[in-house]
C-alpha cells in the first residue's frame, strides 16, 4: 500500500487538528473529499464507472458472461471480483507488487457484494442449475490517495447501476434440449436493482477520534481502521478491522455508529446523481481523431 512518511511534528499537527474536528484540508471528521462519478465510460463492458475521490481514482468495468451456477445456489448467479493494482497508481505496484493488495481487496469486495442481500442474485439465474449470468467486476486502481475501499464501493455501485445485461430466454425443444436465444434488439436488456447495494465506509482511528475518508497523511497517523459496509437503510452488512493497532469495544461501537450515519447519508446523493446522469442520455463520443 502506498504510504507517505510523516514527521513527528506533522503527526502532532494532524492529531491535534482532528481532535478539534478540523482536518488539514479543512474538512470535518465525517466529511468526504470532493467526489466525481462518471458511468458508462468503457464501451465494451456491460457496465462501467469511474470514481475519483480526492486524488484517488478507480475505474470499474463489469462484464456479464454466461456461466454455470454454483452447486450450493443453483438458482442464483454470482459476481467475481478482480482488483488490478496498476503501476500507474504507485510505483510500488510495479511487477507483482500490487498482487497481494489486489487479492486482499478483491476478497473483501467479494464478501461485501456477493450476497443475495446486496444484489438480486436470483435475477441473474437463466435456467436453474444450468445457466446463469456471472458478473465479472474488474477494478482498476488508477491512483492511490487513501480510502480505496470507499472509492471502489461507490464505483462498483455506480457500475452495477449502469450495467445492461442482454436479455436472453431459454427455448425448449421437444427433446428437452435447451437453447439460449438472444434478443435481437441491443436495447432490450436487463437492469439491476442497486438499491440494496452497500457502500463501504472506512473509519480511521486517529488519536481518540476517528475520521472518514482519510488521506494518506492521516492514514499514516492511524494505527487501526474499521471498514463498514452500510446499505441505504443504515444496515451494516460487513465490518472488518484493518491495521496493526488495537481498538477497544467502546470505540468500535462508536465507529460503527458513525459509519452507519455517514453511509446512509452517502447513498442518497449517490443515487440521485446516478439517476440524473442516466437522464442526460448518451454522450457524444469523442474518438482518437476528435
Partner 1 sequence: MLKSKTFVKKTRGGRVMKIVREHYLRDDIWCGSEACDQCRQESTVLQREACIESNLCSFSHYLVPDTNVVLHQIDVLEDPVICNVVILQTVLQEVRHRSAPVYKRLKDLIHEEERHFYTFTNEHHRETFIEREPGESANDRNDRAIRVAAKWYSEHLAKPDDPKLVLLTNDVANKQKAQESGLLVYKFEEYVKGLIANPELVDRLALSNDDKNDIASSRVLFPEHLPLSRIQAGIKSGSFLQGTFKASRDNYLEAKVFIQKDEEDGTEVLIQGLQHLNRAVHQDVVAVQLLPRSQWAAPSSVMLQDVGSAKDDTTTEEEEQEEDALISCGGDVDRKPTGKIVGIIKRNWRPFCGMLNISQIKESTRHLFTPADRCIPRIRIETRQASTLAGQRIMVAIDGWPKDSRYPNGHFVRTLGVAGEKETEEEVLLLEHDVPHQAFSQAVLSFLPKMPWSIKPEDIVGREDLRHLTVCSVDPPGCTDIDDALHCRELANGNFEVGVHIADVTHFIRPGNALDKEAANRGTTVYLCGKRIDMVPELLSSNLCSLRSNVDRLSFSSIWEMNQKAEVVKTRFTKSVINSKASLTYAEAQMRIDDTGKNDDITKSLRGLNKLAKILKKRRIEKGALTLSSLEVRFHMDSETHDPIELQTKELMETNSMVEEFMLLANISVAQKIYDEFAECALLRKHPAPPPSNYDILLKAAKSKDVLLRTDSAKALADSLEAANVDGFAYFNTLLRILATRCMMQAVYFCSGMDNDFHHYGLASPIYTHFTSPIRRYADIIVHRLLAVAIGADSTYPDLTDKHKQSALCTNLNYRHKMSQYAQRASVAFHTQLFFKSRGVLSEEGFVLFVRKNAIIVLIPKFGLEGTVFFDGKDKSGLNLVFDEEYPSLTVERHTFRIFDRVKVTVSLDDSNIQHQKIRMALTEPVIPGVSVSATAGETQNKKPRLDS
Binding footprint of partner 1 on the chain (CB under 8 A) = 43-46, 63-66, 166, 168, 171, 173, 175, 177, 179-187, 285-289
CA 136 to chain centre: 13
- Smallest separation, CB 272 to partner 1 (Å): 24
Nearer to partner 1, 25 or 278 (CB): 278
Gyration radius of the chain's alpha carbons? 21
- Smallest separation, CB 163 to partner 1 (Å): 11
Q: How many CA atoms lie within 13 A of 37 on its CB side?
A: 26
Nearer to partner 1, 66 or 271 (CB): 66
- Smallest separation, CB 42 to partner 1 (Å): 9
Can you tell me the distance from the alpha carbon of 243 to that of 203, in angstroms, rounded to the nearest whole number?
11
Nearer to partner 1, 59 or 226 (CB): 59
- Smallest separation, CB 264 to partner 1 (Å): 35
Nearer to partner 1, 168 or 265 (CB): 168
Q: Which residues pair with 121 in a beta bridge?
A: none
Dihedral angle over CA of 125, 128, 131, 137, nearest 10: 30
Q: Helices 148-162 and 249-279: crossing angle, nearest 10°?
A: 40
C-alpha cell at 80: 467475481
Can you tell me the distance from the alpha carbon of 50 to that of 156, in angstroms, rounded to the nearest whole number?
9
- Smallest separation, CB 282 to partner 1 (Å): 9
Nearer to partner 1, 97 or 166 (CB): 166
Amino acid at each position: 500500500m502506498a504510504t507517505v512518511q510523516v514527521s513527528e511534528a506533522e503527526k502532532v499537527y494532524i492529531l491535534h487538528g482532528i481532535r478539534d474536528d478540523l482536518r488539514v484540508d479543512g474538512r470535518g471528521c465525517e466529511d468526504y473529499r470532493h467526489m466525481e462519478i462518471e458511468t458508462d465510460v468503457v464501451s465494451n463492458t456491460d457496465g462501467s464507472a469511474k470514481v475519483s475521490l480526492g486524488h484517488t481514482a478507480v475505474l470499474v468495468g463489469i462484464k456479464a458472461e454466461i456461466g454455470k451456477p454454483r452447486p450450493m445456489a443453483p438458482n442464483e448467479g454470482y459476481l467475481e471480483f478482480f482488483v488490478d493494482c496498476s503501476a500507474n497508481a504507485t510505483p510500488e505496484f510495479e511487477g507483482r507488487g500490487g498482487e497481494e493488495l489486489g487479492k486482499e481487496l478483491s476478497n473483501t469486495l467479494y464478501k461485501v457484494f456477493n450476497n443475495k442481500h446486496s444484489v438480486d442474485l436470483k435475477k441473474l439465474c437463466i435456467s436453474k442449475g444450468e445457466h446463469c449470468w456471472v458478473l465479472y467486476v474488474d477494478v482498476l486502481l488508477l491512483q492511490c490517495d487513501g480510502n480505496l475501499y470507499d472509492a471502489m464501493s461507490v464505483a462498483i455501485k455506480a457500475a452495477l447501476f449502469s450495467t445492461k445485461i442482454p436479455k436472453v430466454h431459454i427455448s425448449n425443444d421437444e427433446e428437452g434440449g435447451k437453447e439460449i436465444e438472444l434478443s435481437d434488439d441491443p436495447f432490450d436488456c436487463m437492469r439491476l436493482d442497486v438499491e440494496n447495494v452497500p457502500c463501504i465506509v472506512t473509519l480511521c482511528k486517529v488519536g481518540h477520534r476517528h475520521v472518514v475518508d482519510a488521506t494518506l497523511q492521516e492514514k499514516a497517523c492511524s494505527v487501526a481502521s474499521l471498514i463498514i459496509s452500510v446499505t441505504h437503510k443504515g444496515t451494516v452488512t460487513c465490518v472488518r478491522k484493518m491495521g496493526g493497532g488495537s481498538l477497544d469495544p467502546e470505540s468500535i461501537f462508536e465507529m460503527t455508529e458513525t459509519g452507519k450515519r455517514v453511509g446512509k447519508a452517502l447513498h442518497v446523493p449517490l443515487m440521485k446523481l446516478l439517476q440524473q446522469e442516466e437522464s442526460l442520455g448518451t454522450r457524444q463520443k469523442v474518438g482518437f481523431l476528435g
